[in-house]
Amino acid sequence: MATYNVARAKHATLVATTVDTVNFSIPFAYVRVTNRSGLGAIWARADSTNPGVLADDSYLIDNNESKDIAVASVDNTHVKLVCGAAANYSAEGV
């Protein structure tokens, strides 16, 4: 599991089945997750639970797709991401 602390945006590569957590120091109401890969879907959550591949209540971001995910608390803006195969992504506060 990798954890990143950023102000506005993180651009990285997920390792298969390993959860990345991106913490934002600036509060945002949404986090825009972009799957920049053609290798497979990314699953994401913006609450305290880790997402899972094909897991219920995890948002699906397909290849070359973006999705705005409402955060559970703007006082603790973060997003957690996982994929089945390595995938490039961007997570940006909006």
pLDDT in tens, 10-55: 999 999 889 999 999 999 999 999 999 888 899 999 999 999 988 9
Domain ranges, ordered by start, for the chain: 2-93
The reply to whether the predicted model has a pTM over 0.85 is yes
d(CA 58, CA 33): 13
Q: What pLDDT is recorded for position 92?
A: 97
Beta strands in 1-94 (DSSP E): 2-6, 9-14, 20-24, 30-35, 42-45, 59-61, 66-70, 78-83, 87-93
| 3 class by beta-carbon count within 10 Å (0-12 exposed, 13-18 middle, 19+ buried) | exposed
Structure tokens at 36: 């920049």
Supply φ then ψ for residue 47, to 5 degrees: -130, -165
CATH topology assigned to domain 2-93: Jelly Rolls (2.60.120)
